Amino acid sequence: MSLSMTLPSSMRLAAAVAAAAVLAGCATARPPAAPPLTPPAGWHAQLPHGGSTADMQSWWQRLNDPLLVELIGAAEEASPTLAQAKSRLLQARSTEVGKQAALLPSADLNASIQRGFNASVLGIATQMQAGPSVSWDADLFGANAAARDAAQARLEGARASWHDARVAVAADVANQLDTVRNCRRLLAVAESDAKSRGETARLSDLSAKAGFQAPADAALARGSAADSEARRTQQRASCDVGVKALVALTALDEDELRRRIAQAAEPEAPPAAFDIPALPAQLLEQRPDVRAAAREVAAASAEVGGAEAARYPRLTLQGSVSRAQLGYGGRTFDFTNWQVGPVALALPLFDGGRRKADVQAAKARYDEAAAQLHAKARQAVREVEEALVNLQAADDRVASTDIAADGYRRALAGTQARYDAGLASLITLEDSRRTALSAETARVNLRRERMAAWIGLYRAAGGGWDATAPAPGDAQSTAAR
């Protein structure tokens, strides 16, 4: 319940305004808009070297992979996640404009015309009137200012979320494209193995029919060839599924996408193309999702102040000026109307505890936002640590994996020569072939693992996000996204 009154007396009006101004000196308290974070003092995992943080923004171009850059652009156009982030950003910008406008007087131009019996002239008259009217909420205790601050914070958070969505889309496309390429490499290994085993099975059948080999050896060779063919079929199906997933991400024609993938040259596994800040606290500043969570805390803090301000008096002022014309009996009279007021002061008296409950709810939302921020910061540190561990583990295994694959390949060639000369059994050949296949598959998968580790590190480090980069709706943004 509130008591609203219009004060006709200038003395009483002045006294009410003065009293409200004195009350306005009591600022409504807000909890901290930026609660302190306590990230670890340093990284536990080994950092990569040889790059710079700024280069992360153009990392995709530095990979010398034009197809990837084009697919990322197509995915940005098709991504529902990015479209949703853009929509929320534009809505947040509209809300911010509205809350900012609430702090200023509002003016409207009104015009009216009416004809009928006029008591002033005791006859039929036509009256026309036009002019501006102004209203203003004095915002004594900062309720409107708090709403503006909350809207501004959420706008900044929506900007960061839009950039975070772009980083996620780029990482998803890069991962999926590399998955498809890795699948094609594994398919080439499977086809080579199937061809080799098929030839061995053919020769074994001929040899068994001629009586130079036992039928059991021929049966073993046929079984090995069939097993290899099944693996090749399964690998081809996996590649088809991967392409379809890439089609869903980019909304491109599948036949055209397959042609582009087949024609595009595959880049080498990326070197250390970017660096990571030496301190976790520095990294948190370049994570757009952490920035968005921090701005939500600031918005929640402002809303606590707004809820507190709603418990205090509210002063509004209205006024108008109009030019009028009255016509009757063939005569026309022009005159001017003006009005200051009503000046209304609303004094909260009784609301059954609603405003107090609103304050408690706002404080609860603030506590939730602060907890989410701390959790987001811990998750960010964890993701970087995990990406660093995965990257280091992949790098450490490259040399040994290459040596193992080369050694087993040479051993298979030697065993094959001995088998062809009748100096090795088919069982020995199959064991050597199985070992070589496993080693070569591991080498191909390690290349994929290393690329995935770099993409994961790019994603965990914020993707080179720049808070000053243009976003949809910005005056300096020239490209619609």
The yes-or-no verdict on residue 189 having pLDDT over 90 is yes
Q: Is the dihedral of CA 426, 428, 429, 434 positive or negative?
A: positive
The yes-or-no verdict on residue 397 having pLDDT over 50 is yes
By DSSP bridging, strand 331-348 and strand 106-118 are: unpaired
Distant-in-sequence, close-in-space partners of 397: CB < 8 Å, separation ≥ 6? 446
The yes-or-no verdict on residue 7 having pLDDT over 70 is no
Q: Which of 62-71, 303-312, 443-452 has the lowest mean pLDDT?
A: 62-71
What pLDDT does residue 177 have? Answer: 95
Mean pLDDT of 250-265: 93
Confidence category of residue 159, pLDDT binned at 50, 70, 90: very high
Tens-place pLDDT, residues 96-106 = 999 999 999 99
Calculate the CA 218 to chain-centre distance. Answer: 58
Q: Are 45 and 382 in contact (CB under 8 A)?
A: no
Mean pLDDT of 451-470: 86
41 vs 160: CA distance, rounded Å: 25
The yes-or-no verdict on residue 117 having pLDDT over 70 is yes
Q: Which domains does the chain have, with CATH numbers?
A: 2-7+31-460 (1.20.1600.10)
Mean pLDDT of 453-459: 91
Q: At what angle do helices 215-250 and 143-209 cross, to 10 degrees?
A: 160
Amino acid at 8: P
| pTM score of the predicted model | 0.82
Highest mean pLDDT among 38-52, 214-228, 268-282 belongs to 214-228
The yes-or-no verdict on residue 481 having pLDDT over 60 is no
Q: Are 163 and 471 in contact (CB under 8 A)?
A: yes
What pLDDT does residue 54 have? Answer: 57
The alpha-helical segments, DSSP class H, found in 251-352 are 254-263, 280-284, 288-309
68 vs 180: CA distance, rounded Å: 12
360 vs 365: CA distance, rounded Å: 9
What pLDDT does residue 14 have? Answer: 44
What pLDDT does residue 55 have? Answer: 65
Mean pLDDT of 148-168: 94
Confidence category of residue 467, pLDDT binned at 50, 70, 90: confident
Confidence category of residue 311, pLDDT binned at 50, 70, 90: very high
Confidence category of residue 4, pLDDT binned at 50, 70, 90: very low
What is the three-class DSSP state of 263? helix
Mean pLDDT of 228-245: 95
Mean pLDDT of 184-204: 90
Of the candidates 447, 380, 460, the one whose C-alpha atom is nearest the C-alpha of residue 48 is 460
Residue 337 to residues 23, 130, 322, 363, Cα–Cα distance (Å)? 34, 10, 5, 48
Q: What per-residue string of b and e applies to 408-447 under the rule 16 or more CB within 10 Å gives b?
A: bbeebeebbeebeeeebebeebbebbbbbbebbbebbebb
The yes-or-no verdict on residue 363 having pLDDT over 60 is yes
Q: What per-residue string of b and e applies to 20-37 under the rule 16 or more CB within 10 Å gives b?
A: beeebeeebebbebebeb
Mean pLDDT of 404-418: 92
Tens-place pLDDT, residues 9-50 = 444 544 454 454 444 444 568 999 988 888 888 888 888 765
Q: Report the 10 Å Cβ neighbour count for 401.
A: 19
The chain-wide mean pLDDT, for the chain, equals 86
335 vs 72: CA distance, rounded Å: 67
Calculate the CA 424 to chain-centre distance. Answer: 59
Mean pLDDT of 401-408: 94
What pLDDT does residue 218 have? Answer: 86
Distant-in-sequence, close-in-space partners of 430: CB < 8 Å, separation ≥ 6? 220, 224
Radius of gyration of the chain (CA): 37
Calculate the CA 154 to chain-centre distance. Answer: 14
